[in-house]
Copies of this chain bind each other. A is one copy, B any other.
Amino acid sequence: MNYEAEYLKDFTYQVFKKMGCPDDQAMTAADCLNQADLRGVDSHGVARLSGYVRLWELNRLNASPNMKIIHETPSTAVLDGDLGLGLVTGPHAMKIAIEKARTAGTGWVAVQNSNHYGIAAFHAMMALEHDMIGISMTNASPLVAPTFSKSRFLGTNPIAVAFPSQDEPPFVMDMATTTVANGKLEVLQRKGEDAPLGWAQDKDGNPTTDAYALKKGGAMLPLGGDREHGSQKGYCLGAMVDIFTAVLSGANYGPWAPPFVAFLEPPANPVGRGIGHFMGAIRIDAFRPASEFKQHMDNWIRTFRNAEPVAGQEKVLIPGDPERELTEERLKNGIHLLQPVIDDLNELARKFNLTFKEN
């Protein structure tokens, strides 16, 4: 059934409050999950709420973190997230980056000792209203094999970049550095369908169409899918994100990145603290007047939107278009939740003495 976005956001906020999150942090975290649902990234929305709760119950997540800048220069900072929600440490880091950019032209904040931060775009987009470019990356549970390998050594390690524009909607890219995000495999599992080759490999590293490959010890594949189609580039990108977010910040990298799911134990010999993020804010007028840049962005966007489509395609899309269309649709018609998610939220409601409507 469909739920109003505001209803889900408020319920999420209530749960985070019950966990002990300070009011403003509960609000930010709820907003982040809600934006995922609105933008169509269902795997990173309210469906994930119980996952955060389970980590909190295991003391692997701190609901009221004492976040601290542990090192800084005019344009950089390292934030110790104190094992807080990434939904909270991420926006906090982005705010620091934006403040740095005001005076230094750019601001770059690496976060250690954090947790899963929801959708990458949420953080990057915070820069837009300040006439800044926003950049956001995170590492994540290792599920991806480097090219030529069977070892699950990288997360889906997304990159988001948001560029402001004038009259056109902003350019917002947000991409896992794998062929597809894990959520796409889960959709196929629910439908009982096979995956295209290039999405996953089996436990021996052979190409497979098995949508359950990951659950059978296989791995997801870097963008490109195989060497002939440039998977070494997807591997480069995923590795780059891992190094910026975790090696530079002092978090756990590669196979040491702690799993999001509570039923898997974090590696016993950590090389850093928690998982890591990397945030950037670039003040446009540190390069050229913001109005000039934004007018050219409008021209860029219109030019690409008017590129000649191939037969059977109506139009060429601008990064951010699909998510924007879904947001409009979902604000109007509500957000559809699957029954297992509804059951999960009811379970949370019981646990925290809240109510969640079944219909």
Contacts and interface: CB of A to CB of B under 8 A. Distances in A.
Interface of A: 71-76, 78, 103-106, 108, 110, 133, 145-151, 153, 161, 163, 171, 173, 175, 177-180, 196, 198-199, 201, 204-206, 223-225, 228-230, 232-237, 239-240, 242-243, 247-250, 253-255, 271-272, 282-284, 286-288, 293, 296-297, 299-300, 303-304, 307-311, 313, 315-317, 319
A106 B233 contact: no
A180 B232 CA distance: 11
A309 B75 contact: no
Contacts of A240: 161, 173
B228 A223 contact: no
Contact of A108 (B106, B248, B255): B106
A198 B307 contact: no
- Residue from A106, A234, A296 having most chain B Cβ neighbours under 10 A: A106
14 contacts: A74-B74, A75-B104, A76-B106, A110-B287, A149-B308, A149-B313, A150-B308, A161-B240, A204-B310, A223-B233, A224-B224, A225-B230, A239-B319, A250-B288
Contacts of A232: 175, 317, 319
Given A78-B287, A149-B308, A232-B319, 18 more contacts: A71-B286, A148-B316, A150-B307, A150-B309, A153-B303, A171-B239, A173-B239, A196-B228, A198-B228, A199-B229, A204-B311, A205-B311, A223-B230, A223-B233, A225-B230, A248-B284, A249-B288, A254-B304
Q: How many copies make up the complex?
A: 2
Contacts of A317: 147-148, 232
A203 to B, nearest CB: 10
B247 A296 contact: yes
